[in-house]
Amino acid sequence: MFRCGFGYDVHCLVSDRELILGGVKIPYSKGLSGHSDADVLIHSIIDALLGALALGDIGTFYPDNDLAYKDIDSRILLRKTYTLITEKGWKLNNLDAVICCQEPKLQPFINAMRANLALDLHCAIEQISLKATTEEGLGISGKGEGISAFCQLLLVKD
């Protein structure tokens, strides 16, 4: 038995925050604005995991008006979500994600992000595909106003 999930997230870039993607601190003059650490990649993965089992979205489980989640490390939320998924008898088969970001260049950090995700999702790094792209100057990421991420994944019954 299989279940497919899709997730998307976007946050604005601001000058007073660290940039964290896939749990990796990226050296850059701006970071993402949000209630938590605003890690758009992990947020898109959480939405995909929850969506695969029709459980709602990240805001259902971790509302942005709950002080318990203020500035929280999104990897904590990812691990908590994956525990919920595994308790329901599912596990990750594979994950494919894209980060849309004009700057900074993310290629040097992709493998560290993949390693974090594999650790948090209890799988091999080969089950995690992660790509970064620019939007050629178009849209919120292309204009350097924000960063977005898309994730599609497949769960299998354990």
Q: Tell me the domains of the chain and their CATH numbers.
A: 2-157 (3.30.1330.50)
By the 8 A CB rule, do 46 and 95 touch? no
By the 8 A CB rule, do 95 and 153 touch? yes
pLDDT of residue 46: 98
Backbone angles phi, psi at 101, to 5 degrees: -155, 120
Global model pTM greater than 0.75? yes
DSSP H or E segment with residue 74: helix 74-87
Query: Over the chain (158 residues), what is each successive 10-residue block's mean pLDDT?
Result: 97 96 97 95 98 96 90 96 98 98 96 98 98 90 94 95
Could you list the residues known to form a binding site, using ranges. 9-11, 35-36, 43, 57-59, 133-136, 143
DSSP helix, strand, coil percent of the chain (3-state; round to 5): 35, 30, 35
Could you list the residues known to form a binding site for a divalent metal cation, using ranges. 9, 11, 43
pLDDT of residue 138: 85
pLDDT of residue 74: 97
